[in-house]
Amino acid sequence: MSLNEDAAAALAKIARLQDLLGMDHFRAISNDRAARAVEGLSQDLSALAESRESLLAIDGIGPKIADKLIEFYRTGRMQELDDLQAQVPAGVLQMLDVPGLGPKTAAVLWKQGGIESIPQLKAAIDSGALLDLPRMGEKSIQKLKESIAIAEEGQKRLPLGVAMAVAEDFVESMRRVKGVVDATYAGSLRRGKETIGDIDVLVCVKKPDDAPHVAEHFRSLPRVNQVLTAGATKSSVRAAIRADNGRVGNGSTELRSKGGEIEEVSGPSVQVDLRVLPIEHWGAALMYFTGSKEHNIRLRERALKQGRTLNDYGLFPEDGEDTPPQTRGIKPIASRTEEEIYSAMGLPYIPPELREDRSELELTKTPRLIEIDDIKAELHAHTTASDGSMEIEELATEAKRRGFHTIAVTDHSKSSAIAGGLPVDRLLEHINAVRRVNDRIKGITVLAGSEVDILADGSLDYPDDVLAQLDVVVASPHTALSQEPSVATERLLRAIRHPHVHILGHPTGRLINRRAGLSPDMAKLIAAAVEHDVALEINAHWMRLDLRDVHVRAAVDAGCKLAIDCDVHAPGDFDNLRFGIMTARRGWLTPDLCINTWSATKLHDWLQSKRSGGTSNAPPSKKVPTKQPAKRSTTEAATKSRTKRS
DNA sequence: GCCGTTTTCGGCCCGACTGTTTTCAGTCG
């Protein structure tokens, strides 16, 4: 974990402990809010902590928390956290991981029941001792028992790609139900976060009377293995992650092994929340359930200042009454579409990926964020020469079918033995093979490249005279991924400064939920990439998403070029582009800075410009068909069009 | 513990669902 993540985790822990100890809840909220602010910082805390003023300038960080962060930066600890932890047994804190068991209940279990861990809680359930505690009846205890089982599975948040497949399966099923006008997913999935805690599904019905049977249908879908709550308009279930056929989801995201690194993702179930609502509240509900929570709170605060109140039914005039306006027949000012509500609040439409309370409410117009159809080139792909599954021609044909004007063949370099990395002689033959395919195939340019290992000391895996013969050099770290941050920074800087490098591939080498990867000083890498005209990669595979969103934002702010690549090993990998795009959008990326959006001429000229002395024998750009052969769609575009239809 | 075109002190988003309660507390999103 990076310093930012560690510091955020410490603040969040303070908040949890404060709630457990029954301290002022608003103090806990402040610590929690600050934790998320730190998590969302695009700059490294080590730079900010040098000056107290720069910390104080961050929204949600005041003098007390600034001092805690400085203390953490200098000593790696927070005294306050140590003090709080000394008062609470570690097992009590862990009990908060049990769904439905909050700080109040945990405190009662601990202080009145003497229960200090999940195992002790289980024993108390079995012995019947729990019944003696306040607000503990038969049903609560049964629920607790089931929730403990979930907590003990140690469920991590699901990677975006896995959650997406499950969500799309639910959405498709619900769309086929009688009385349903539309269905979509919301929550962090719609915002494109790299991991998803639970899945939110919104279903729109023509008549409110349809809601109960629609909800009932949802709860009886084949994936559902436990019903958590069952209301008329709201239900929660736990659903199997793996579909019956042993593959994940509808097959659009197939799990597979890749160079021995990415294997199947385990995790038996995920919580899916359903909300059923009539069409007139669709926009308000979609906004509300898309979140983020922090974005929603900011919106509501803004509404109150405007003399209005915002809830999941719409934007209403504030009349000081206690009961919700929609229950009193008050007509909303806006409610049917998200656009309408933002507009009524004097805001431009905010794309879901930006709704993180990271200054998006200061926007005066909707930024033209990058979209999936902007992408015209794939610059990181493997063939059977190393660990890919396609021949060069197959790869090129698939890329052409998907509407790209350029595909770069970038097989592994010699040190990546496990991935079939090419020794120099085989690389030279491979370059010729690529050139021959390029001569044969019409309508797409096939570039000869390599994904060159950045060795532990920052040197590259091929000599310069070999690299000079390649049209594209993607330099990536694959080994020594536990290096100290300072060592990793120097290593990657050396690669960026190398005159033959075009793209820094998956810069940290992390695998989500599996491997932390390198924690280089990203600000330094970005500055160097700008200086040496190197593009940083957003690796679109949902197990990587590397660069991550906050670093994309920092790169965008610095005017750094970015590449969004699928790291293609098999035909289906092109489908991961949507996840790279979502990550890019979360980093506020516009098309101009992304080299994959450029015209063939502009892209090929830029690649050539990095070849001093014109030693490259790269092929000239080809004419590409103006018609796009295969239409690709983004979830965001799909969601939007659904929203418009409803 | 943070924050301020009502405030430097007194606020701090809003509703659904559940279970154990005779009117509400706790949890979640």
The pLDDT tens digits for A476-493 are 999 999 888 899 999 999
In this prediction, residue A2 has a pLDDT band, given cuts at 50, 70 and 90, of: confident
Same domain (yes/no): A378, A509: yes
Which domain CATH number covers A201? 3.30.460.10
Query: A615 falls in which pLDDT band (50, 70, 90)?
Result: very low
Per-residue model confidence (pLDDT) at position A391: 95
CA of A31 to C1' of B9 (A): 20
3-class secondary structure for A497-522? HCCCCCEECCCCCCECCCECCCCCCH
Tell me, what's the pLDDT at A268? 67
State whether A107 and A181 are in the same domain: no
Q: Residue A564 and residue A540: Cα distance in Å, rounded?
A: 7
Q: Is the pLDDT of residue A322 over 80?
A: no
Q: What is the CATH number of the domain that holds A583?
A: 3.20.20.140
Residue A424 in domain: yes
The last residue of a domain, from among A152, A177, A208: A152
The residue segments making up the domain with residue A193 are 158-290
Strand B lies under 7 A from the Cβ of residue A530:
no
- Is residue A88 domain-resident? yes
End position of a domain, from candidates A343, A362, A381: A362
Nucleotides of B under 7 A from a protein CB: 1-3, 5-6, 11-21, 25-29
- Residue A624 counted as domain residue: no
Range from A1-5, A105-109, A274-278, A635-639 carrying the lowest mean pLDDT: A635-639
A366-411 pLDDT, tens digit each: 999 999 999 999 999 999 999 999 999 999 999 999 999 999 999 9
Cα A508 from Cα A557, distance rounded (Å): 20
Does residue A53 reach within 7 angstroms of strand B, measured from its CB?
no
User: Between β-strands A406-412 and A377-381, what pairing exists: parallel, antiparallel or unpaired?
Assistant: parallel
Out of A105-109, A240-244, A353-357, least confident range: A240-244
Higher pLDDT, A91 or A513: A91
What is residue A438's predicted lDDT score, i.e. its pLDDT? 97
pLDDT in tens, A255-302: 333 333 433 333 468 899 999 988 889 999 999 999 998 899 899 989
Question: Strand B: which of residues 333-392 in chain A lie with Cβ below 7 A?
Answer: none
- pLDDT tens, residue by residue, A560-594: 999 999 999 999 999 999 999 999 999 999 999 99
Please choose, from the candidates A169, A16, A159, the residue with its C-alpha nearest in 3D space to the C-alpha of residue A80: A16
Hits for CB < 7 Å against strand B across A residues 105-134: 105-106, 134
Does residue A94 sit in the same domain as residue A215? no
Res. A640 pLDDT band, cuts 50 70 90? very low
For residue range A198-250, list pLDDT tens digits in order: 999 999 998 888 888 899 999 999 999 888 888 888 899 989 887 643 333 33
Asked whether residue A411 falls in the same domain as residue A496, the answer is yes
Taking all residues of chain A, what is their mean pLDDT, rounded to a whole number? 87
Q: Are residues A304 and A278 in the same domain?
A: no
Q: Is the CB of A64 under 7 A from strand B?
A: yes
A462 exposure class (CB count in 10 Å sphere: 0-12, 13-18, 19+): buried
pLDDT score recorded for residue A267: 44
Q: What pLDDT does A129 receive?
A: 87
Identify whether residues A394 and A532 lie together within a single domain: yes
Q: What is the CATH number of the domain that holds A79?
A: 1.10.150.110
Mean pLDDT of A331-340: 93
Tell me: pLDDT of A122 over 80: yes
Looking at the domain assignment, is residue A196 inside a domain?
Answer: yes
Whether residue A641 is contained in a domain is answered as no
Report CA(A37)–C1'(B23) in Å, whole number: 39
pLDDT at A254 over 60: no
Both A53 and A194 in one domain: the answer is no
- Give the per-residue pLDDT at A641: 35
The spacing between the Cα labelled CA in A294 and the C1' in B13, in angstroms, equals 10
Residue A244 belongs to some domain of the structure: yes
Residues A475, A507 share a domain: yes
Residue A327 and residue A248 share a domain:
no
Dihedral of CA atoms A433, A434, A438, A444 in degrees, nearest 10, equals 150
List pLDDT tens digits, range A41-79.
Answer: 878 888 888 889 999 999 899 999 999 999 999 999 999
For residue A638, pLDDT over 50 is answered with: no
CA distance A343 to A338: 8
Question: Which nucleotide has its C1' atom closest to residue A37's CA?
Answer: B2
More confident residue, A254 or A32: A32
Q: Say if A281 falls within a structural domain.
A: yes
Residue A596, SS3 per DSSP: helix
| Mean pLDDT, rounded, for A339-351 | 94
Query: Alpha-carbon distance A28 to A480, whole Å?
Result: 39
Domain's final residue, options A332, A362, A392: A362
Mean pLDDT, residues A620-638 taken together: 47
Cβ contact A295:A360 at 8 Å:
yes
Asked if A147 CB < 7 A from strand B, the reply is no
User: In the structure encoding, which two tokens stand for residue A98, read together?
Assistant: 């049990």
Closest listed residue to residue A584, CA positions, set A268, A289, A372: A372
**Could you tell me if A565 and A585 lie in one domain?**
yes
Number of structural domains, chain A? 4
Residue A630: per-residue pLDDT: 44
Looking at residue A259, what is its pLDDT? 39
Please report which confidence band the pLDDT of residue A619 belongs to, taking 50, 70 and 90 as the band edges.
low
Same domain, A116 and A162: no
Quick one: pLDDT at residue A624? Answer: 57
Q: What is the CATH number of the domain that holds A325?
A: 3.30.210.10
CA of A135 to C1' of B23 (A): 15
Q: Domain check: are A183 and A89 in the same one?
A: no
Residue A638 falls inside a structural domain:
no
Strand B close residues, chain A 260-289, CB < 7 angstroms? 271, 273, 289
